[in-house]
């Protein structure tokens, strides 16, 4: 028997805080490998807790780190 570990990032605009389940995922906002694909498939998606768009989290992340991240312009999907 093999256990599967799934990280549930978002579930609509629901906020869930239970013993074994927290949605949105507590650290997704700091992970470019999660944010970039989200931006590609759902550019208008907003975080249910803060109301910020995914693009804003990526822009904040870039401001805190060296280097440049080129994000597609709105409508360049």
pTM over cut 0.95: no
Q: Does domain 1-77 have CATH number 3.40.50.800?
A: no
Per-residue pLDDT at 75: 59
Question: Which residue bears the tokens 């994000």?
Answer: 71
DSSP annotation of 51 reads: -
Contact 62, 35 (CB under 8 A): no
Structure tokens, 54: 């995914």
Q: Where are the domains of the chain?
A: 1-77
pLDDT tens, residue by residue, 26-63: 999 988 889 999 999 999 999 999 999 999 998 888 77
Say which residue the tokens 């870039």 belong to.
Answer: 62
More confident residue, 63 or 20: 20
Angle at the Cα of 23 (from 54 to 14), degrees rounded to 5?
Answer: 80
DSSP class of residue 24? S
Mean pLDDT of the chain: 86
């Amino acid at each position: 028997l093999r256990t599967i570990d799934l990280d549930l990032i978002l579930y609509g605009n629901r906020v869930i805080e239970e013993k074994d389940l927290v949605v949105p995922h507590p650290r997704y906002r700091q992970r470019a490998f999660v944010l970039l694909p989200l931006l590609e498939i759902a550019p208008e998606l907003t975080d249910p807790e803060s109301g910020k768009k995914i693009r804003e989290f990526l822009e904040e992340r870039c401001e805190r780190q060296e280097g440049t991240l080129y994000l597609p312009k709105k409508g360049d999907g």
